[in-house]
């Protein structure tokens, strides 16, 4: 498709006066985006589908992963994503932004800093806003990601699990599966405090 067939909008979610920017939204509206991927005429090279680091299905229409790169774009196309929730403050790379444009995917960016104790420092209003986007089926299929798909993504998914009435031990077990050796006791206690604040 041609560049001029897209209308790119950048908007900030409504917030009370004096509050910090919580979410940056980039919408890529394609005039006609064909989300159909025809695998029947593909060669073996075309079928080299590589998921991003720490990719998993969270629920119907909800996926999680680490930061996708160009090697993952073919795989992501098979998901027919409507939205991506990006939990890092760093700007989205140009190649990824072009991928979003070509596939008509909306990006919601929450600039959550990475700390040694990340969950303690995630504001409850930021998590609530991100959860609102995850729960809104108009954004599905949606991919949630941060850099490695571990701590920030794990916190948001953990909050979703609480809303789904998972017991805390199951929430922490899932978190540890993705955080692996980097899971820290402070992460879990911090996640627990975030989980309690979302009610």
142: CATH = 3.90.190.10
Q: How many domains does the chain have?
A: 1
Domain-embedded: residue 161 = yes
Domain-embedded: residue 50 = no
Domain that holds residue 181: 56-197
DSSP H/E element including 169: helix 168-179
Domain-embedded: residue 162 = yes
- N-terminal to C-terminal alpha carbon distance within the chain: 44
Residue 192 pLDDT: 53
Residue 79 pLDDT: 97
What's the average pLDDT block by block, 10 residues per block, for the chain (199 residues)? 39 44 58 45 65 95 96 96 95 95 96 65 85 97 94 92 95 90 51 54
23 is an active site residue: no
Domain-embedded: residue 66 = yes
Taking only Cα atoms into account, the Rg of the chain, rounded to an integer number of angstroms, comes to 17
The one catalytic residue among 23, 88, 146, 159: 146
Domain-embedded: residue 65 = yes
Q: List the beta bridge partners of residue 93.
A: none
Domain-embedded: residue 80 = yes
3-state helix, strand, coil in the chain (%, to 5): 40, 15, 45
Domain-embedded: residue 12 = no
Domain-embedded: residue 68 = yes
pTM equals 0.73
Residue 98 pLDDT: 96
């Amino acid at each position: 498709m041609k560049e001029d067939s897209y209308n790119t909008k950048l908007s900030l979610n409504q917030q009370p006066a004096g509050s910090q920017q919580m979410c940056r939204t980039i919408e890529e509206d394609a005039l006609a985006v064909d989300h159909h991927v025809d695998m029947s005429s593909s060669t073996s090279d075309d079928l080299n589908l590589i998921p991003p680091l720490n990719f998993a299905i969270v629920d119907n229409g909800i996926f999680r992963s680490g930061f996708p790169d160009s090697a993952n774009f073919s795989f992501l196309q098979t998901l027919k994503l409507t939205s991506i929730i990006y939990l890092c403050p760093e700007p989205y790379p140009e190649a990824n932004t072009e991928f979003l444009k070509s596939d008509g995917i909306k990006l919601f960016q929450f600039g959550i800093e990475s700390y040694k104790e990340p969950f303690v420092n995630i504001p409850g209003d930021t998590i609530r806003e991100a959860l609102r986007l995850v729960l809104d089926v108009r954004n599905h299929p949606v991919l949630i990601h941060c850099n490695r798909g571990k701590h920030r993504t794990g916190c948001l998914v953990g909050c979703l699990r609480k809303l789904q009435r998972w017991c805390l031990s199951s929430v922490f077990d899932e978190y540890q599966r993705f955080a692996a050796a980097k899971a820290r006791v402070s992460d879990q206690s911090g996640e627990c405090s975030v989980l309690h604040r979302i009610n």
